Amino acid sequence: MRRMAQEIKVAKKAKEPKLEHSELSGEFTEDGVTVLVDIFRTQGSQEDWTMEVVTQSEDLIRWDEPFETDRDAFDEFLATIARDGIASFLEDSEPAVH
């Protein structure tokens, strides 16, 4: 009796790309409220930058459009704070998109 080896194909989980985080990323505190600003793109790429803000209660706010530079992203974050206040990130219970 001859045994046949069966080829078992294991679905490989697609590797998530490594990310490059901007030096402008980090915690930002105003009026006693702290959020985490994360500005990132695929490591080693020249892609535009994505920006997310994570609140203390772990709500995630992501901007729809990417930014040409990390500085543009951070300037938009600061403009949002100046225009709407840092509490604007806390007011909505629904996921926010800027």
Residue with tokens 């009026």: 31
For residues 84 and 66, give the distance between their C-alpha atoms in angstroms, rounded to a whole number.
20
Ranges in the chain, pLDDT < 50: 1-11, 93-96
For residues 84 and 48, give the distance between their C-alpha atoms in angstroms, rounded to a whole number.
25
Enter the pTM of the model.
0.76
